[in-house]
Structure 1
């Protein structure tokens, strides 16, 4: 692997981009749980592993993900990260109140905190505070309203009464603020296919194209930003959470100059949670 390839594919930055491109859509009300394991590959070579747990109750939800590089990439330029989002379930929507995401690479470690209220960012900070980059576009106050944090936003809600695995479910877009950058992610229908997980889900998935549209908080001259903006072959596959109108990312595919980058579930186990019994006097 060349030095130029390593610069483009640095695990901290690429990992954040892969995680961010797991999209942002509000889910419907449900009471269910997902326990999933994922493997990341680059040109067919394993480069990382991760896990993701989502639990949605009748009035609260939580989502937790973690992952890191593995194999040869870990020996050359290791990295790891984790994220957690918590909030309330209100009228069928997941309303995040807190998000925390941490990343560690061979160069640095940082933690991002975001506090939200009804989709509006109330507070956010990056620890340690990064140096000011004159090339980074500012984020106006308006771009921190009506947004989703990256973790809560990783789930696709299918509104109305249409089939959650129908082409219409891909006709969606989302506004995301990740603590540093504000961007839109747009979906379009590609196809429906069948998958067989090593453990857990076997059945149809909804495959949508992804289009990345940064609005503020980014550095326009960065090669990875230019590359993602120009991409027209990225896609995400969604699998259903039974008993709900929620679809969860099952596979993410991003072409790169080094080969196809893929994040795919190896374990995708779902279960329905019993409704909470109200306390009586």
Structure 2
């Protein structure tokens, strides 16, 4: 169960794209509330620092509220990479998650050719009902954490329809899938602490490629789900957008991730190396 919540936080609306000019240094510290049908399920935190040549992102999440009476759980994730020739170039990704029943860990090492090394615990064993992950599925991909960073090309306002014009190829160590984004509208958002201003809303479509079990009802439901959205807000001093809010309609209610704090600032001079984002 925890893995579903972590995926919602780190990969529900992730992306990376081309930029045509250098970025100033920028930093974001955000805290999120995860709910289902209005009931709190978890809390998450995100820390990002970016300049014109590299980025570092880290996050953490834990179960809270009513679900904690059924299952305890927490997790952390992090990624780093370069900004090379105007594109995000992921270099490493790590995730650890732990519940009262099991724990798991994923490590990916990447270069321009794709995934060069990986470790997944517990391992994924081949089965007749699972689409195998081929070598080609590990090329030209983003990890889930890098996939939460949107760089918008050009010199116009980043909060625009252009931010949604992309198909995202994501590999999380177990599954390879595409998220197809399309422009919905521009909204105004306001965090209880931090950012208040415009956000671009993108509709999301889920397209599994490999590593999934096609006959599972959950996979079929997500493929048909037309009510998945992400709200993207800017990181000061950059052309980067990051999820402020995300929502998915499920069979038992709307699952929503929303920022309770979204504090962003332009950095001057050399940046520090962030540690893992602290928990609320």
TM over 0.5: yes
SS in 2 for 1:229: helix
Shift in alpha-carbon separation, 1:16–1:169, aligned structure 2, 3 A = closer
Match of 1:254 among 230, 248, 251: 248
SS in 1 for 2:66: helix
Shift in alpha-carbon separation, 1:166–1:106, aligned structure 2, 3 A = same
The whole-number CA distance in structure 1 between the counterparts of 2:4 and 2:127 is: 16
Partner of 1:3: none
Partner of 1:212: 206
**Is residue 24 of structure 1 aligned with residue 15 of structure 2?**
yes
The whole-number CA distance in structure 1 between the counterparts of 2:196 and 2:185 is: 17
The whole-number CA distance in structure 2 between the counterparts of 1:104 and 1:183 is: 24
Q: Superposition RMSD on alpha carbons, in Å?
A: 1.8
Match of 2:144 among 141, 144, 150: 150
Q: CA deviation at 1:84?
A: 0.5
Per-residue CA deviations over 1:205-235 (Å, capped at 9, x if unaligned) read: 1001001101111111222211111100110
Shift in alpha-carbon separation, 1:149–1:109, aligned structure 2, 3 A = same
Unaligned 5+ runs, structure 2: 272-280
Partner of 2:95: 101
> 2:13·2:179 contact (CA, 8 Å) conserved in 1?
no
The whole-number CA distance in structure 1 between the counterparts of 2:149 and 2:48 is: 10
Shift in alpha-carbon separation, 1:51–1:178, aligned structure 2, 3 A = same
Shift in alpha-carbon separation, 1:184–1:130, aligned structure 2, 3 A = closer
Per-residue CA deviations over 1:2-41 (Å, capped at 9, x if unaligned) read: xxxxxxxx34334435532132223744311100000001
Shift in alpha-carbon separation, 1:243–1:13, aligned structure 2, 3 A = closer
The whole-number CA distance in structure 2 between the counterparts of 1:211 and 1:234 is: 7
The whole-number CA distance in structure 1 between the counterparts of 2:50 and 2:78 is: 14
> 2:6·2:61 contact (CA, 8 Å) conserved in 1?
no
> 1:198·1:266 contact (CA, 8 Å) conserved in 2?
yes
Unaligned 5+ runs, structure 1: 1-9
**Is residue 38 of structure 1 aligned with residue 7 of structure 2?**
no
The whole-number CA distance in structure 2 between the counterparts of 1:275 and 1:174 is: 32
Partner of 1:232: 226
Per-residue CA deviations over 1:79-115 (Å, capped at 9, x if unaligned) read: 2221100122323433221100112223210100000
Could you tell me the TM-score, scaled by structure 1's length?
0.90
The whole-number CA distance in structure 1 between the counterparts of 2:142 and 2:204 is: 17
- For 1:41-120, list aligned pairs within 5 A: 41-118=35-112, 120=114
Shift in alpha-carbon separation, 1:222–1:13, aligned structure 2, 3 A = farther
Q: CA deviation at 1:168?
A: 2.8
Aligned residue pairs total: 268
Partner of 1:203: 197
